[in-house]
Amino acid sequence: MIIAVPKEIKSGENRVAITPEVTSKLTKKGFEVLIEKNAGNKAGFTNEHYEKAGGKILNSAKEIFEKGEIILKVQRPQLNEELNQHELDLMKEGQLLISFMYALHYPQDAVKCAEKKVNVISMDMIPRTTLAQRMDALSSQANIAGYKSVILCANHLGKIFPMMMTAAGTIQPARVVIMGAGVAGLSALGTAKRLGAIVEVSDIRPTVKEEVESLGGRFIEVETTENMQDERGYAKQASEEFLKKQKEIISKHVANADIVITTALVPGKKAPILVTEEMVKSMRPNSVILDMATEFGGNCELSENGKTIIKYGVTIIGEPNLPSLVPYHASDMYAKNLLNLIEYTSKDGVFNLNMEDEIIKGSTIVKDGKIVNDRINQILNQ
C-alpha cells in the first residue's frame, strides 16, 4: 500500500506526520512512502533525509492526495489556499486518513469525510488501554506541551525559578500553580520542579493526588462525592456547584502564584473557566498565566487564542499548539505513535481496518461512508 504525507498547512504548525527514521521502517515493512516536498523542513528533516530513508519526494499536495492510499497528517484537513481547495476535496473514496481530528469538537469534518467515503482514524480517539499506550499520540504530544509550557512561562517571568542563597541575600523560589493533572499537567509539574519551583497542582479527580505528590508537587484538594472521571480516564465535566467550590479554594493559591498553567479540557465540550477575571486582578504584577485550552474556549476568562496579552499587569499566554514549538521531538514521537499503530494492524505492507479490534474500533470515526463513533453521532443528533 502507498502511504502519503502532505505538508502541514495550518498556520503555526511546524510538525510533520512521519520522520525519515519511521519512513525507513515503513518501507522495510513493504509500504511505499511518498512525502510532499519540504514537508519536514520546519521540523529539521530535509527532502534528502527522506530520500536516503527510502521515501519518494513529490512536488505537490495534489499528487500526494491522488496517489496515497493511506494519508498521514498531524492536523485535521484544512483549506489549502495555494490550491484554493480544501484538503478533503482532494481526497477520494476508499482512502484512509489518519490524523488528529478532534471530531467531538468539529463533527462536521466527520460528516464531510462520510460524504466523500473517506475512512478516518482519529489519533485523539485512541483508547486509553495498556495495549494502546504505544499509539497514544495525545499523551506523547501532551508530554511535550507540558514541558514547553513551563519554558515559555519562565521566559516571560521576570524572576528565576530556584531558591538561591547569595552574598546579596536569599532569593525565594518561584511559585507555580498547575490546573489539571493529566499528562500535560504532570509534565509541567516535573519540569517546574526540576527548575526549582514550588509547585501546587489542582485536579477535579482525587485519584491523581498520589501521582502529583510522587513528582514533588503539592495537591490542592477539593472534597467531593461526584465521580469526576469517565471510562477512558479523562476528567468529566464538573457540576456548577463543584466548580464554584473549586474556584473559592483555587483563588487563594492563584493570588500567591508567580505562574499559573491551565490544562483542563473536556472532550466535545467548551473548556471550563478556571481562572476568572477577579483571580487575574488578584495576582502579583508581572506574573504569568499560560492557558493550554484556548482553542476550545480557554480556561482563563481573559485569554485569547493564539495571542500573548497583558491584563492587570499579568502576562496571559494563549498558545494553542505548544508541541509545534518543539517540532523535532514532537514529530519524532508522533511518527512513532503512527508506526506502532500501522505495525499493529498491518501485514506485508497492507493495512487492515479491522473493526473487531478494540483499538481500531475505538479510534475509527468514519468507515465506508458512515460515522461509526457513537459520541460523534450523539453530538450531531442534538
139 is catalytic: yes
Q: Which of 106, 234, 312, 328 is catalytic?
A: 234
Q: What is the dihedral of CA 216, 222, 227, 230, to 10 degrees?
A: -50
Task: Quickly list DSSP for 247-307.
Answer: HHHHHHHHHT-SEEEE----TTSPPPP-B-HHHHHHSPTT-EEEETTGGGT-SBTT--TT-
Q: Which of 78, 85, 133, 251 is catalytic?
A: 133
234 is catalytic: yes
- pLDDT tens sequence across 195-243: 999 999 999 888 899 999 999 999 998 776 565 565 655 555 667 777 7
Pick the residue with more confidence: 139 or 225?
A: 139
- Fold type of domain 2-125+327-368: Rossmann fold (3.40.50)
Q: Which of 128, 134, 194, 375 is catalytic?
A: 128
Q: Chain-wide mean pLDDT for the chain?
A: 94
- Range 85-104 average pLDDT: 96
Half-sphere exposure of 250 (CA within 13 A, CB side): 27
- Range 357-376 average pLDDT: 96
232 is catalytic: no
According to CATH, the superfamily of the domain at 142-325 is NAD(P)-binding Rossmann-like Domain (3.40.50.720)
The reported pLDDT for the residue numbered 230 is 59
- pLDDT tens sequence across 332-363: 999 999 999 999 999 989 999 999 999 999 99
Q: Which of 139, 229, 237, 251 is catalytic?
A: 139
Domain spans in the chain, listed from the N-terminal domain onward: 2-125+327-368, 142-325
The pTM of this model reads: 0.92
